[in-house]
Amino acid sequence: MADSEEFGVLQSKRTATRYQILVEIAKRQPAVNQQEIADAIGVTPQAVSDYLRDLSEQGYVNKHGRGRYEITKEGVDWLISQTDELRTFVRHVSEDVIGQVDVETAIATTDVSDGETVSLSMQDGALHAMSGGSGAATAVAVTSASAGQDVGITNFDGVVDYELGTVTVLSVPQVQNGGSSAVDLEAMTELTASHDLLAVAGGEALAAVNAAGLDPDIRFGSASAVQEAATKGLDVLLVAATDVLSPHTDRLREGNISYEVVDTAER
């Protein structure tokens, strides 16, 4: 595993300060105010002066009179090399360190003990965990839970295998073109029965759903909610007024979600 000592800028406070001062010079050259640099990085002006003398001796900085410094090609090359090393270290921390301690929440389908390996699956739009590591995707439980309770999981391995949901969009004309009265309520009710969730967008759509005696699952924030539901494997019937349809279909295309728009006049 990578160690911070491999990365030059992190080896010592002195190296880190040299790096910061070079960055500040590159930003401010050729008119470099030592007090401004000192304030920016939290050291004294005298310390900045000492570092500048050292950087000049090493060939990383050229001095062109009082208060005029310029970073050299060698200084730029050193900055780039140190920045590349820092970027590698940050990626290591993000992927290998923090990624290992990320804790997600799943629903236990069996009793699960803290420290136990569990198999993961997507059911009804939610991540579920089952005791045992025989699944294509596994994790380690960090809490204990009884079946039906929430359980914390980490150290993920593999990919949860499930199909994306689809969206059927039932377009409703604007009120000046007939609104909810133009909707085939029986056909809409039949479509609702064959989908996992019912979403509405727009006043005309809400009026149509109410007229059919249906209770929508999604009414607010429907564009993002419909996309998320389909991303988690649920089939959604979206009843939407024509004037608010585009933001929903744009969001579905962005998420590569399959959808079909049905015109109420055609049913």
Set out the domains of the chain in order of their start, with CATH numbers: 4-100 (1.10.10.10), 104-158 (no CATH), 167-266 (3.40.1010.20)
40 near 19, Cβ under 8 Å?
no
Q: H or E segment at 106?
A: strand 104-108
What whole-number distance in Å separates Cα of residue 215 and Cα of residue 239? 12
pLDDT of residue 5: 45
Beta carbons within 8 Å of 264's beta carbon, 6+ residues apart: 170, 171, 172, 173, 182, 183, 184, 187, 188
| Count of Cβ atoms closer than 10 Å to residue 20 Cβ | 18
pLDDT of residue 222: 95
Q: What is the rounded CA–CA span in Å between residue 247 and residue 158? A: 34
What is the helix (H) or strand (E) element at residue 87, kind and residue range? helix 73-92
Can you give the pTM of this predicted structure? 0.59
pLDDT in tens, 108-121: 999 999 999 999 99
Run of H or E including 107: strand 104-108
Tell me the per-residue pLDDT of 45-60, one tens digit each, with 9 for 90 and over.
899 999 998 999 999 9
> What does the alpha-carbon distance between residue 229 and residue 247 come to, in Å, rounded to a whole number?
16
Give pLDDT, residue 267: 45
The stretches in the chain having pLDDT less than 50 are 1-5, 266-267
Strands (E), 49-103: 61-63, 69-71
Q: Which two tokens stand for residue 118?
A: 């569990």
Six-digit token string for 182? 């133009």
